[in-house]
Amino acid sequence: MASVKFFAAIALIVSIVWVIAAPGFEPTLAVVVSISALVSAFVVEKRTARRVQQHQSVSKSSIGVQADGDVSIGDIGGDKHAK
């Protein structure tokens, strides 16, 4: 993610220089696009960091299952000798 931020910052600097050197529609559009790319890189990183944080507490005789999606649990605590 750091490389995306780096390249978005470089693109912003280059597009600002382009606007200064040759004002017009295309350089201004490039500034707007590079600003949005830089902002979205920070937003995506923040969402990813928030989603990754998981915490689970179970008691000593319990079984804990933690996943990022749908979870289906069968007979985990069933009697193994019953037929």
Task: Enumerate the domain spans of the chain.
Answer: 2-52
Q: What is the pLDDT of residue 14?
A: 94
CA atoms within 13 A on the CB side of 81: 0
Q: What is the pLDDT of residue 78?
A: 56
Q: Is 60 helix (H, G, I), strand (E, B) or coil?
A: coil
User: For residue 16, what is the DSSP state?
Assistant: H
CA distance 25 to 23: 7
Output the tens digit of pLDDT for each of the chain's 83 residues.
788 889 999 999 999 999 999 999 999 999 999 999 999 988 887 766 565 555 666 677 777 766 665 556 555 555 555 54
